[in-house]
Amino acid sequence: MTTLSIFDAHNPEAAPAITHDPGEIAAQLNSKGVRFERWPTQNLPADAAPVEILEAYSAEIAKLKAESGFQTADVISLNPDNPQKEAFRKKFLDEHTHSEDEVRFFVRGQGIFYLHLGDQVFAVQCQKNDLISVPEGTRHWFDMGPEPEFTCIRLFTNPEGWVAEFTGDNIAGQLPRYEALEGEAV
């Protein structure tokens, strides 16, 4: 279930406000300039190839490209049996920004985007059919958990793909990780 947990950035151990209502999640995030929406399910096999996934969502991808100037779309997938899963997880766990919007559509599985917006941190556990677009310059990080299980479509304006500027802020280490939120709030 998609979940939004809102933490006080100055008091991260305080209990967060939590909602599971997709409409409320979209309204909260949209009010902060973060695009969040649910796309209809496409009938794809569990082992669908990236080209099949991109074809199944071609209309939605074309719409986003036209609206926001994205140049490329690809598919990233990670499973618990990946021998580099710990390194991949660590790569995204520190707070960073990008010079372009970070767009992810969850084809399967889940992961948590943490958005550091002013005095709050919005932890969005995205699930299958969730689209999130984190605006350029937004301080954030991503936690896929210790046993990652997801497939996402990514869109980029920069042909180099994912390029991060790390902030050096240690807030990501002060908030509950995937395991705590997945077990308690979701």
Question: Which residue ranges are tagged as binding site for Ni(2+)?
Answer: 96, 98, 102, 140
Binding site, residues?
96, 98, 102, 140
Cβ partners under 8 Å of residue 4, min gap 6 = 18, 19, 20, 24, 25, 28, 29, 122, 123, 124, 125
**Residues sharing a CB contact under 8 Å with residue 29, sequence separation 6 or more, in sequence order:** 4, 35, 36, 115, 122, 124, 132
Binding residues for Fe(2+): 96, 98, 102, 140
Give the count of beta carbons closer than 10 Å to the beta carbon of residue 165: 11
Distance CA 163, CA 96 (A): 10
CA distances from 13 to 7, 10, 28, 29, 159 (A): 8, 9, 21, 22, 39
